[in-house]
Amino acid sequence: MYVAMVRPRWSDMDLFGHVNHARMVTLLEEARVPLVFSEAKRYGLDEFAKGMVVVKLSVHYRAPVVADSQELRVEISLRDLKFASLTLDYNVYSGPSTENGVAVVADTLIAPYDVSTGRPRRFTGAEREFLRERLADD
């Protein structure tokens, strides 16, 4: 599994003092982007950064998340890897550790996309290997 730390901003909160749904989606993206851009590039996989699209997103709240200057721990794991899509699962904790339990459970269906042709593409063997190695559930 891949672990990212993200910090919600005060402006991410809604009228009720909780992180707004749209902002939570952005925080999930912020957790995922270093994996797709930085980690994959270090592995020699530049194509990820050139085109990945979110096909479907689901977010379920178990507890409110508050922007209180603490980072949130986001655990990302690979649920399903197909030739032209992958499903990522997220567990978001209300702080930097797991002690308070999971506050948000989410998943995204993502497809690789070739921006030069404007069409979806298949994962390469190296990309599939990278995803399995980095996101295997421990």
Q: Per residue in 87-123, pLDDT tens?
A: 999 999 988 888 889 999 999 999 999 888 889 999 9
SS3 content of the chain, % helix, strand, coil (to 5): 30, 35, 35
pLDDT in tens, 62-73: 998 887 878 999
Kindly report the pTM of this predicted structure: 0.90
| DSSP annotation of 64 | -
- pLDDT at residue 55 greater than cutoff 80: yes
- pLDDT at residue 138 greater than cutoff 70: no
* CB hemisphere CA count around 62 (13 angstroms): 12
- pLDDT at residue 50 greater than cutoff 90: no
Give the pLDDT band (50/70/90) at residue 137: low
In the numeric block, the tokens 């530049």 are attached to 46
- pLDDT at residue 83 greater than cutoff 90: yes
Q: Per the structure block, which two tokens stand in for 120?
A: 């979806």
pLDDT value of residue 79 = 94
pLDDT value of residue 121 = 93
- List the alpha helices (DSSP H) in the chain: 21-34, 40-42, 47-50, 125-135
User: What distance separates the 2 farthest-apart alpha carbons in the chain?
Assistant: 47
pLDDT in tens, 10-41: 787 777 778 888 999 999 999 999 988 888 88
Average pLDDT, the chain: 89
